[in-house]
């Protein structure tokens, strides 16, 4: 120790550890992936996807209009009817299996692409997004020829053309969550990635080509919300799956009303991460860090409300603040980065606005000293204490690196506070007592309850919400159900 103290003047710095940008080469311009080809948009319009870490333009991307959406739905319909839905299911499994293998083979390239286009730290895209995306395809490849066993005596059949709209926080992983079960069940898909993160979906079109996915089975239409709306409004779709904001989820539900098109919605959350006084404190601190600062807090199931038992609140918050000081914010491509760039200027504004509301309403803010890069979109890890349940920062999804801390005294009070939200996606419980975990899990209104861990995902485990967090499940055998019908006849 003495030696380090004497060196006090020299800061303990990490050397840069950049992943190579050269692992991915974007084209200058991407068309739409329709019918197995890259085609220019009939709309004739394009937009630019930037790196949120530097604001540098990465590539031009097509803004698909209604005519383009129509072409994509038509290509999907043709592929569905012309072989994909009637192909031997073991053959379909092989195709999906090949996608999984190619994702693994190209994982470094895709991880760099994901971090460049969306701003997430490379250690997350490399160690979480890519392995999990591949795992989803492996997992659902295994179900493709076993659907009759998954749903005995129910005669499962695919819907037809699945319209899928995904957000920007886990671009390739959300694509995998949507595309893998849809294909396993024999559907063709038209997928619209988010406007700030379209590039890995476009690279995925190339993965499909390599995997010899029949043309038209997977179509990618890029564009903004109007493209998504055109897809939802198209008369030729048989199923809609959406992940994104509650507001747009509700709008989609309105647009589909009365059309008999099945819908799954995976929307926002305001999860309680509940820490009891008997837990392993240091592990809980790591779980809190992972719960809220994973992917800059752009996570629907983020543990954004920390509920701490009063008797340990001071000690826990002290430990947490110290730990926050060690989080490294900066270049997403640096392998030591913990917190990357905020996905877009718009999202940064939203975070700033909600943080300002917290300060105005009377919460106490803490941010560790940290130097943020000059260009790009950044927000430091932030914690609010003295938060009342009524504050906006305790009720609304911030979708950024901002944690609100509340306290409780009894398990009953913890449950009541945890459930006091319009959402119901996930929750965390930290305690040594197994019986208390079960007691809490029974009472928490959340689709997923993690015990002594947080943000753990597995393709075999279903994920989804209650209340304003949406409905339907993704992952596991449950995830197949959204892509099948059981009536034995066609939708009329």
Catalytic residues: 266, 300
Query: 60 vs 413, which CB is nearer to Mg ion?
Result: 60
- Of 299, 294, 327, the C-alpha closest to 398 is 299
117 or 238: CB nearest Mg ion: 117
481 near Mg ion, judged by CB under 5 A: no
Query: In angstroms, rounded to a whole number, what is the distance separating the alpha carbons of residues 195 and 179?
Result: 18
Cβ-in-10-Å burial (0-12, 13-18, 19+) of 88 comes to exposed
List, as own/partner pairs, every contact residues 426-429 make where C-beta atoms lie below 8 angstroms and the sequence separation is at least 24, other chains included: 426/269, 426/271, 426/301, 426/303, 426/450, 427/271, 427/272, 427/273, 427/274, 428/271, 428/272, 428/273, 428/274, 428/287, 428/291, 428/303, 428/453, 428/454, 429/274, 429/276
Instruction: Check binding of 129 to Mg ion (CB under 5 A).
Output: no
Nearer to ligand NAI by Cβ, of 246 and 407: the residue is 246
Alpha-carbon distance 483 to 239, whole Å? 8
Nearer to Mg ion, 49 or 304 (CB): 49
Residues 7-46 that bind ligand NAI (CB under 6 A): none
Q: Is 186 in the site for ligand NAI (CB under 6 A)?
A: no
Collapsed DSSP state (helix, strand, coil) of residue 328: coil
Query: Would you count residue 397 as binding ligand NAI (CB under 6 A)?
Result: yes
Q: Contacting ligand NAI (CB under 6 A), which of 77, 192, 239, 467?
A: 192
How far apart are CB 345 and ligand NAI at their closest, in Å? Answer: 12
- Cα 184 to chain centroid, rounded: 21
Please, are residues 126 and 107 in contact by the beta-carbon 8 Å criterion? yes
225 binds, among Mg ion, ligand NAI, none (CB under 5 to 8 A by kind): ligand NAI
Question: How many angstroms separate the CA atoms of 222 and 426, rounded?
Answer: 30
Quick one: what does residue 117 bind among Mg ion, ligand NAI, none, with the CB cut-off 5 to 8 Å set by partner type?
Mg ion
Q: Return the one option of Mg ion, ligand NAI, none that residue 49 interacts with (CB less than 5 to 8 A, by type).
A: Mg ion
What is the chain's Cα-based Rg? 23
Contacts of 317 (CB under 8 A, 6+ apart): 308, 383, 385, 405
227 token code pair? 């493209």
d(CA 147, CA 143): 6
Stretch binding ligand NAI (CB under 6 A), from 113-121, 227-235, 403-411, 414-422: 227-235
Q: Which of 49, 85, 125, 421 binds Mg ion (CB under 5 A)?
A: 49
Q: Does 195 bind ligand NAI (CB under 6 A)?
A: yes
Residue closer to ligand NAI, measured from CB, 191 or 307? 191
d(CA 280, CA 288) in angstroms, rounded, equals 12
Which residue, 52 or 215, has its beta carbon nearer to ligand NAI? Answer: 52
Q: What CA–CA distances, in Å, run from 73 to 80, 172, 190?
A: 10, 21, 6
- Applying CB under 6 A, does 194 fall inside the site for ligand NAI? yes
Is residue 196 near Mg ion by the rule CB under 5 A? yes
Contact call for residue 296 and Mg ion (CB under 5 A): no
Task: Write out the H or E segment, with its range, that includes residue 254.
Answer: helix 246-256
Closest-by-Cβ residue to ligand NAI is 228
Q: Which is nearer to ligand NAI, 21 or 456 (CB)?
A: 456
Considering only 107, 243, 426, 455, the residue that binds ligand NAI (CB under 6 A) is 243
Residue recorded with tokens 């299996």? 97
Q: Which stretch binds ligand NAI (CB under 6 A): 238-246, 334-342, 366-374, 444-452?
A: 238-246
Using rule CB under 6 A, residue 331 touches ligand NAI: no
CB of 249 to ligand NAI, least distance (A): 7
Q: How far is CA 419 from the centre of its chain?
A: 22
Q: Taking contact as CB under 5 A, which single stretch among the options 115-123, 282-290, 356-364, 425-433 is the one that binds Mg ion?
A: 115-123
Q: Does 117 bind Mg ion (CB under 5 A)?
A: yes
In the complex, the residues that contact Mg ion under the rule CB under 5 A are 49, 117, 196
In the complex, the residues that contact ligand NAI under the rule CB under 6 A are 165-167, 169, 192, 194-195, 224-225, 228-229, 232, 243-245, 248, 251-252, 266-268, 300, 347, 350, 397, 399
């Amino acid at each position: 120790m003495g030696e380090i103290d004497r060196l006090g003047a020299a800061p303990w710095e990490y050397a840069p550890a950049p992943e190579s940008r050269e692992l991915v080469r974007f084209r200058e311009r991407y068309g739409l992936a329709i019918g197995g080809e890259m085609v220019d948009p009939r709309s004739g319009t394009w937009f630019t996807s930037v790196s949120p870490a530097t604001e540098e333009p990465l590539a031009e991307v097509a803004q698909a209009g209604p005519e383009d959406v129509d072409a994509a739905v038509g290509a999907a319909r043709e592929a569905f009817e012309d072989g994909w839905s009637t192909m031997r299911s073991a053959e379909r499994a092989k195709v999906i299996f090949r996608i999984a293998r190619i994702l693994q083979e190209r994982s470094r390239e895709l991880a760099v692409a994901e971090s460049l286009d969306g701003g997430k730290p490379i250690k997350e895209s490399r160690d979480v997004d890519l392995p999990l995306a591949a795992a989803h395809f492996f997992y659902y490849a295994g179900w493709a020829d076993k659907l009759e066993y998954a749903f005995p005596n129910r005669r499962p059949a695919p819907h037809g053309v699945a319209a899928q709209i995904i957000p920007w926080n886990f671009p390739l992983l959300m694509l995998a969550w949507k595309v893998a079960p849809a294909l396993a069940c024999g559907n063709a898909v038209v997928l619209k990635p988010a406007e700030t993160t379209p590039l890995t979906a476009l690279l995925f079109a190339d993965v499909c080509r390599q995997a010899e996915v029949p043309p038209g089975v997977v179509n990618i239409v890029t564009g903004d919300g109007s493209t998504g709306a055109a897809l939802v409004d198209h008369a030729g779709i048989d199923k809609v799956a959406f992940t994104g904001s509650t507001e747009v989820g509700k709008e989609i539900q309105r647009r589909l009303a009365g059309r008999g098109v099945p819908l799954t919605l995976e929307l926002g959350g305001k999860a309680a991460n509940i820490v009891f006084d008997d837990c392993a404190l240091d592990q809980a601190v790591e779980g809190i860090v992972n719960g809220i600062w994973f992917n800059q807090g752009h996570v629907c199931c983020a543990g954004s409300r920390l509920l701490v038992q009063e008797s340990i609140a001071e000690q826990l918050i002290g430990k947490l603040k110290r730990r926050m000081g060690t989080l490294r914010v900066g270049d997403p491509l640096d392998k030591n980065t913990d917190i990357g760039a905020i996905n877009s200027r718009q999202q940064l504004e939203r975070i700033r606005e909600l943080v300002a509301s917290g300060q105005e309403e009377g919460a106490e803010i803490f941010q560790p000293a940290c130097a943020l890069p000059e260009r790009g979109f950044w927000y430091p890890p932030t914690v609010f204490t003295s938060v009342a349940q009524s504050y906006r920062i305790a009720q609304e999804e911030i979708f950024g690196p901002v944690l609100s801390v509340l306290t409780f005294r009894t398990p009953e009070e913890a449950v009541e506070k945890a459930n006091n939200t319009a959402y119901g996606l996930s929750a965390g419980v930290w305690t040594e007592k197994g019986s208390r975990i079960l007691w809490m899990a029974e009472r928490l209104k959340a689709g997923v309850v993690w015990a002594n861990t947080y943000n753990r995902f597995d393709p075999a485990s279903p994920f989804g919400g209650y209340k304003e967090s949406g409905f339907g499940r993704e992952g596991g055998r449950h995830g197949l159900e959204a892509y099948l019908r059981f009536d034995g006849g066609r939708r009329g």
